[in-house]
């Protein structure tokens, strides 16, 4: 059985009519942790946008979680995104709602109806990110690291096959960044969630080595087990 949940072959990534990356050949396997690295403007975010349907696949072939990227449309993009968790550098929490209400909002928006199942799932994901005691806290009462943990909990609500993290430690100090990386790696080992983490923080790569895919000069290079 093919365990690749992302498979790109001879893909060119476009922003409008401009080619950002070409000859992209990449697999992400189920339950894998890997880094996507490259300088600002090298195409990391564009590649991630392609994976979650924010940019169209115009050239090459690609599948993500069983969805053909070339056939994505308004109707099936939401279904793809329910198979993904997406975490950004900015936490994007609803500031006027508690932690649990932030999570409840997402579940209701993705057609969860049963109140008891909703409450149970909220407690499950908060436990996974070690925030069970912060259920009723407002975002402004949380540290940056705690807010990012809430964002990760939110990304886990629908039990994604793949969590895409775009510079998730960009606004955090080194110690807090390490805590977030350890949390993401724990999700891989305990829940089998694949994690694709874009970063330009080479300190993280040195401290927590794993497979690396690099964006440079309009191409990507797969380092497999890291050598920096």
Q: Is 224's pLDDT higher than 80?
A: no
Q: Is 100's pLDDT higher than 90?
A: yes
Q: Are 14 and 79 within one domain? A: yes
* pLDDT tens digit sequence for 169-200: 888 899 999 999 998 999 898 888 999 999 98
Q: Is 228's pLDDT higher than 50?
A: no
What does the pLDDT average to over 158-162?
92
Q: Are 2 and 41 within one domain? A: yes
Contact present, 112 and 121 (Cβ < 8 Å)? yes
Q: Are 46 and 64 within one domain? A: yes
Supply the range of the domain harboring residue 121. 92-159
CB count in 10 Å sphere of residue 78: 12
Cα gap 88→111, rounded to integer Å: 23
Token duo for residue 21:
């990356």
Q: Are 203 and 167 within one domain? A: yes
Q: Are 57 and 100 within one domain? A: no
What does the pLDDT average to over 202-212?
93
Task: State the total domains in the chain.
Answer: 2
Q: How confident is residue 2, by pLDDT bands cut at 50, 70 and 90?
A: low
Domain boundary (159, 184, 201) is at: 159
Per the listing, tokens 């401009």 go with 18
What does the pLDDT read at residue 227? 43
Percent of the chain residues past pLDDT 70, beyond the cut: 97
Domain boundary (130, 159, 188) is at: 159
Residues pairing with 212 in the sheet: 35, 224
Mean pLDDT, the chain, whole residue set = 91
* pLDDT tens digit sequence for 20-64: 999 999 999 999 999 999 988 899 999 999 999 999 999 999 999
What does the pLDDT average to over 162-167?
93
* pLDDT tens digit sequence for 121-140: 999 999 999 999 999 999 99
Q: Which residue, 76, 75, 224, is CA-closest to 64? A: 76
CB count in 10 Å sphere of residue 103: 25
Q: Is 225's pLDDT higher than 60?
A: no
Q: Which residue, 8, 7, 44, 3, is CA-closest to 164? A: 44
CB environment 35-56: b (16+ within 10 A), e (fewer):
bbbbeeebbbbbbbbbbbbebe
Contact present, 59 and 18 (Cβ < 8 Å)? no
């Amino acid at each position: 059985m093919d365990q690749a949940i992302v498979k790109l072959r001879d893909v060119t990534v476009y922003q409008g009519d401009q080619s950002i990356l070409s000859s992209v050949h990449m697999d992400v396997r189920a339950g894998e942790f890997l880094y996507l690295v490259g300088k600002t403007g090298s195409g990391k975010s564009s590649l991630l946008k392609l994976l979650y349907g924010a940019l169209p696949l115009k050239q090459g072939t690609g599948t993500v979680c069983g969805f053909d990227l070339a056939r994505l449309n308004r109707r099936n993009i939401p279904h793809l995104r329910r198979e993904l968790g997406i975490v950004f550098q900015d936490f994007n929490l609803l500031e006027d709602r508690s932690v649990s209400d932030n999570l409840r909002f997402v579940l209701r928006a993705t057609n969860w109806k049963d109140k008891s199942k909703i409450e149970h799932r909220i407690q499950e994901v908060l436990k996974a990110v070690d925030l069970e005691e912060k259920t009723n806290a407002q975002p402004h009462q949380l540290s940056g690291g705690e807010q990012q943990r809430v964002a990760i909990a939110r990304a886990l609500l629908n039990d994604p096959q793949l969590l895409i993290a775009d510079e998730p430690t960009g606004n955090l100090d080194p110690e807090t960044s390490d805590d977030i990386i350890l949390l993401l790696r724990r999700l891989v080992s305990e829940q089998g969630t694949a994690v694709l983490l874009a970063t330009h923080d080479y300190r993280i790569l040195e401290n927590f080595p794993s497979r690396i895919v690099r964006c440079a000069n309009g191409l990507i290079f797969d380092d497999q087990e890291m050598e920096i």
